[in-house]
Amino acid sequence: MSKCRLVLDTNVFVAAGFEPKSASARLLEALRQGRCRMIWHRTTQRETERVLRRIPPLGWQRFAALFWPEEEHPAELDLTPFDAIEDPTIANLLRSRPRRKACSSATTIICLRGATCCPSVF
């Protein structure tokens, strides 16, 4: 069985940091345990680091190890081929921020929030 593959938005890290029992925190725990893999690009890693360093209670160090070098994607991630998740909260967010998508396919899940994007992890 292949592992769940995730592309996570910075909001997932922030939510997990402030709410340790949240769905976002469970996604990050799945990464720590090796049940999922996070596919990332240096642009998104830098954004996440910049944001987390600006929030003292969170900090970058507690999340840095989740960006495994072997999972770095060599090019910007193109999210256009994915379908949107059927979630009213995320659907509203997509309408207000058309360049950011919360999406899923059979093999990779892109998450703006942890709530409904990866049910197999929970």
Give the pTM.
0.69
CA distance 29 to 20: 10
* Tokens, residue 86: 């059927």
The CB-based long-range contact list for 83-90 (8 Å cut-off, 24+ gap) reads 85/116, 85/117, 87/115, 87/116, 89/113, 89/115, 90/116
Give the chain's mean pLDDT. Answer: 74
Phi-psi domain of 49 (left: phi exceeds 0; alpha: psi -120 through 50; beta: other): alpha
Task: Note the pLDDT of residue 120.
Answer: 52
Query: Which residues of the chain are under the pLDDT cut of 70?
Result: 1-2, 77-122
Break the chain into its structural domains and give their ranges: 4-116
Task: Note the pLDDT of residue 81.
Answer: 57
Phi, psi of 51 (to 5 degrees): -65, -45
Task: Note the pLDDT of residue 75.
Answer: 83
Task: Note the pLDDT of residue 99.
Answer: 40
Beta strands of 3-93 (E only): which ranges? 4-8, 36-38, 83-84
Residues, the chain = 122
Task: Note the pLDDT of residue 7.
Answer: 86
Beta strands of the chain (E only): which ranges? 4-8, 36-38, 83-84, 103-104, 108-111
pLDDT, one tens digit per residue, over 39-62 is 999 998 999 999 999 998 999 999
Task: Note the pLDDT of residue 13.
Answer: 93
Task: Note the pLDDT of residue 121.
Answer: 53
Task: Note the pLDDT of residue 108.
Answer: 52
